[in-house]
Amino acid sequence: MIAFIVRTFTMFMLLSTMVFMFFYFLLGEPVEETFEPLWEVRHENVPLVAYFVIAMFVISCFISIWMAIASKTRESVAIRYVKQLVDPEFSLEKKKNIPRSLKKALLQTNELIETQRKSLQKLTNERVDSNDAIIQERIVQERQRLARELHDSVSQQLFAASMLLSALTEQAQGDEKSQKTLQQVEKIVQQAQLEMRALLLHLRPIALRNNTLAEGLTGLVLELKQKVNFDIDYKIEEIELSKAEEDHLFRIAQEALSNTLRHSKATEVELTLIAPDNVAILRIQDNGRGFNVEEDNQTTSYGLKNIAERAVEIGCIYKIVSVPGEGTIVEVKVPLKMRQNTDELSEAADLNASEDS
């Protein structure tokens, strides 16, 4: 509001100066004889000069409003393009009618983001390579963690099932109460089986050592189809990815499927790995009970945090969409063109290092 008032006052002063200069050149020096008609001539008892002042004020207001709208429009356009910069599919070549100054700033910002992504991917690749030396220790730690979780979750549920079975044997055969107890036992045992299968998904620290991502995901899906009681549809393509990208995407798929087994109560799951338009897309979708992403509970927040961290580590764009009662979608996008640029950057750096030595 203050900016509008200042702009209006400035425009009013500018117009007043222009009008004064106009009359100065038209009527000469501002003496009483030449400028007297401005306040002597009246219309409806209002001096002519008052009409000039009112007209200049109205024009100043209109110009200020127009400038404010134009400024707000340019700001909205800039904000929209800045928000799109993080999308790997964003390209300024497809955009038209962008001011030259804004386009230059967007190009510089986009170049900086691409450089940071390349550096981040290179660091991630180097870290994955260095992790090979300690993989055996991680296997031991993972198995210990799995043993503790099996003891704390599945064992407790199986114990509860055995207690209910004991109570069932003491009841008369064909009793309605016994039938309800039996159904409770069945639900508990089924949940225990899902817990066991979900936890075993974590026991794969070297699953992709001799396999591609497509081979690893296919094997994982085929194994689950034999053990779970719901449908798993999949569409998996062979995509050339770096070791770090394959490792992280496989772990993301494991985490998403584990959450589906343990929490979603889904009857259908769809896993997709495709690469349209130079972007590899990994998507896991189920028709389970879903949850509120903004207010997710403690049972899902840890898994979602792992997915987000792994996606960020390889410079990917991830999306988690869930609707209570409808299901959940976990999607990760990997820009393939960036990998080629990263490899070229690494080769150039190695070449420069060898020339310096």
Distance CA 264, CA 209 (A): 30
Residue-wise pLDDT for 5-55, tens only, equals 887 888 878 877 877 777 677 666 666 666 666 666 676 676 767 777 788
Quick one: pLDDT at residue 285?
94
The CATH class of 127-342 is: alpha beta
C-alpha closest to that of 206 among 251, 175, 172, 169? 251
Q: Averaged over 153-165, what is the pLDDT? A: 71
C-alpha closest to that of 262 among 300, 219, 307? 300
Higher pLDDT, 345 or 137: 137
Judge whether residue 202 has pLDDT over 70: no
* Residue ranges covered by each domain of the chain: 2-84, 127-342
C-alpha closest to that of 251 among 281, 288, 220? 220
Residue 9: both structure tokens together: 């006052």
Amino acid at 100: R
Total Cβ atoms within 10 A of residue 213:
25
DSSP state letters, 20-48: HHHHHHHH-S--HHHHTHHHH-EETTEEH
Quick one: pLDDT at residue 337?
65
Q: Averaged over 79-86, what is the pLDDT? A: 71
Sequence-ordered list of residues with C-beta below 8 angstroms from that of 138, at least 6 positions apart, any chain: 131, 205
Quick one: pLDDT at residue 206?
47
Residue 64: both structure tokens together: 């200020």
CA Rg value for the chain: 35
- Is this prediction's pTM over 0.75? no
Residue-wise pLDDT for 216-274, tens only, equals 899 888 888 877 777 899 999 999 888 888 989 998 998 888 888 878 888 899 999 99
Are 208 and 250 a contacting pair, CB within 8 Å?
A: yes
Percent with pLDDT over 90 in the chain: 12
